[in-house]
Amino acid sequence: MINFTRENIRNIAIIAHVDHGKTTLVDELLKQSGTFRNNEKVNERMMDSNDLEKERGITILSKNTAVVYGDLKINIIDTPGHADFGGEVERVLKMVDGVVLLVDAFEGAMPQTRFVLRKALELKLKPIVVINKIDKPGARPEEVIDEVLELFIELGADDEQLEFPVVFASGKAGVAKIKMEDELVDLTPLFSTIIENVPAPSGNEEETLQMLVTTIDSNEYVGRIAIGKVQRGTVKKNQPVAICSPDGKTRNGKIVTLYTFNGLKREEVEEATTGDIIAISGITDIAIGETIADASNPEAIPFVNIDEPTLSMTFTVNDSPFAGKEGDYVTSRHLRDRLMKELETNVSLRVEETEQADTFIVSGRGELHLSVLIETMRREGYEFQVSRANVIYKEVDGAKCEPIELLTVDVPEEFMGSVMEKLGQRKAEMTNMTSAVDGYVRLEFKIPARGLIGYRSEFMTDTKGNGIMNHLFEGYEPAKGDIAERNRGAIVAFETGESVTYGLFNAQDRGTLFVGPGVPVYQGMIVGVCARAEDLDVNVCKKKQATNTRSSGADEALRLTPATELSLEQSLEFISSDELVEVTPKTIRMRKKTLDPTARKRAQRNK
C-alpha cells in the first residue's frame, strides 16, 4: 500500500439537501477511481450500509471512504442531508478542508441546503458547487446557480467563498462537465476541480501528535474504534498516547491497531501522518470530542458546539397487558443501558433519568431523529413505550420561548387554500410565496415546532400525496399560545380478547379502524380514529349471538373496510398527550395511558 504525504491528501465532505444525490455520486466516484475490480458486483448506494438507510433511501450516519486518483488520495465523507441528523454533519466537517455542495438542478436550493452550507461557511471551508441531475426533465441549471449565489450572500460568505467553482453533473449517469455546452464523458472534470480547489490539509508533520475523535464505531472483536483526522504529527501502531477530555482531564492509553480508509474497506497500517483520516482501536473508553495526543505533550483540540435538542419524548418500560410477550429486552436496566450506549455515538441526543426508575426523558433534534432511534431499538429486540413528542421550552430574557421552524411547502395550486388554513390553525406565519414549476406554488412559513407535530400525515392527505414539505430549526421566539391537538377522538377497545368481524363491522361506521379481524387487543388499546372529536369505547371482540330464528339475510357475509395500518412515524404523530405508543419487535400498538374506561372518564371530569 502507498504511504501518502500531507501534500498528496485531499479531505472533502459531500453536503446537500436530503435526496439530492450525494450517496449516488459517491458510488460513481468510487467506481471511476478504479476502487473495484471490473468483474466485482457492486450494489447501489453502497455507503448506506444500515438497513434503515436502505429502506428509507436516506443517509442517517456519516460515512468515510477514500479513493486514489492518480498520485492523490481523496478522503470523502458522505453526510446526512436531513436536519434531524445535523449533529453528524457538524462534527464531521471538522475533519475536512473543503466541501462539495450538491444541488438538484430541478429543485434548486432547499431548506437543508441552507443548513449544511451555513455550517461549512462558519468553519471557513472552501466550497465546490455541483449542480446535479442535469438530465432530469425540467432541469434549470443556470437559474439554480443564481439561487445558490444568493444563498451564499445571505449566509455571509466571504469573497473567497463566493468565488466558488461550478460543475454540472448527473451522479446517476456518472458524468460531469465544467460548462453546459461541454460534452459529457465521465467524472474527470469533478475530480480535477476537487484536486485544484481543495487545499492539502494544514498542520506540521514534525510536531507532536494531535487528533480529534469525531466518530465512534465498534467491532465485536476489537471493541470501540475512534475515527478522526490527524491534525498534526505522526501516529504509530503500539504508540502510548494521552487522551484529553473536553472537561480538561487527561488519561493514558495505547494505540493497538491503526487503519486508514481505502474504498469501502479499512486497511491496517503501521503509521499515519498529518491530514490522514484514520481509525484507531485499543482505547476502550474513548468518546466523541476527545483528543488523542502525544503522551509527553497532551494538548486538547476544541470541539464544535452541537445544536441543542428541540423535542423530547418519555421512554418507559412496557406495562401493557401484552408486556414481555414479544421482546428480548424488556426491563428498565435493559432500556437504560441501551439509551446510555446510544449517547456514545449520537452526539445530538440527551437522556435524563427521572424519579421513576423505569422512565427516561429522551431529547433529540426532531421527530425523525427520535423515530430512527426507536425503530433501531425495536429491531434489536427491545420492547418499551413512548409518549407524544413535546417541545423543549427555554427562558430567554425572562420570557418563555419555544423552538421555531422554517417550513417550506411545495403544493399544487388547487390545494394551497386548505394547506394555508390548516397551518394558520397551528400558529404558522407566512413569510414568502413564489410560483414554482409545473403548477406548483412554494409557500414559506415560520411555525412553532409543536405546530408541526402530527402535521405531516394531515398534509399528505390534504395534498393527495402531491405536496413536498421540508422544515429547518430557526431559533427560539416567545411562546405563541395554545395549539389544538388532534381534532378527532380515538376508538378504544372496551375489553381484552381477539377482534372479530361482527364487532369490527359495528365499529367501522363510527370512524376508521386500525385493526382487522383476528388481532389480539386489550382494554384501553386504540383500534381506530373516530369521526367525532370525543373518544369512543367499542367492543371489537363482540360475537354475534346465535338464535333459534333466522331472518332471510342473516347469513350474508359482513363486509369490512380494510384496516388502515399505521407505521411507527404515523403512530407517533397520531397519539395525543394522554396516549402512548407500545413498541415491540413484532408489533406497534397505540394505547391510552389509563386503560380502565371508568378511571379515564373520572380523570377527564376532574381535569
Which residues are part of a known binding site? 19-24, 132-135
C-alpha cell at 341: 450506549
d(CA 451, CA 471): 12
| CA angle 151–153–154, rounded 5-degree value | 60
**Following DSSP, what letter does each residue of 101-128 receive, concatenated?**
EEEETTT-S-HHHHHHHHHHHHTTPEEE
d(CA 266, CA 279): 8
d(CA 167, CA 29): 14
d(CA 72, CA 70): 6
- Residue pair 274/201 in contact (Cβ under 8 Å)? The answer is yes
> Strand, coil or helix: what is 87?
helix
- Residue pair 404/474 in contact (Cβ under 8 Å)? The answer is yes
| CA angle 11–223–229, rounded 5-degree value | 15
What are the residues facing 579 on neighbouring strands? Answer: 592
What are the residues facing 190 on neighbouring strands? Answer: none
Residue ranges for the known binding site for GTP are 19-24, 132-135
> Strand, coil or helix: what is 239?
coil
d(CA 174, CA 532): 54
d(CA 451, CA 594): 26
What are the residues facing 406 on neighbouring strands? Answer: 446, 472
d(CA 330, CA 328): 6
- Listed in sequence order, the residues at least 6 apart from 204 whose beta carbon sits closer than 8 Å to its beta carbon are 232, 233, 274
d(CA 469, CA 107): 12
- Residue pair 25/62 in contact (Cβ under 8 Å)? The answer is no
- Residue pair 467/493 in contact (Cβ under 8 Å)? The answer is no
Strands 9-16 and 72-78: parallel
Q: How many residues does the chain have?
A: 607
595: left (phi over 0), alpha (psi -120 to 50) or beta: alpha
> Strand, coil or helix: what is 424?
helix
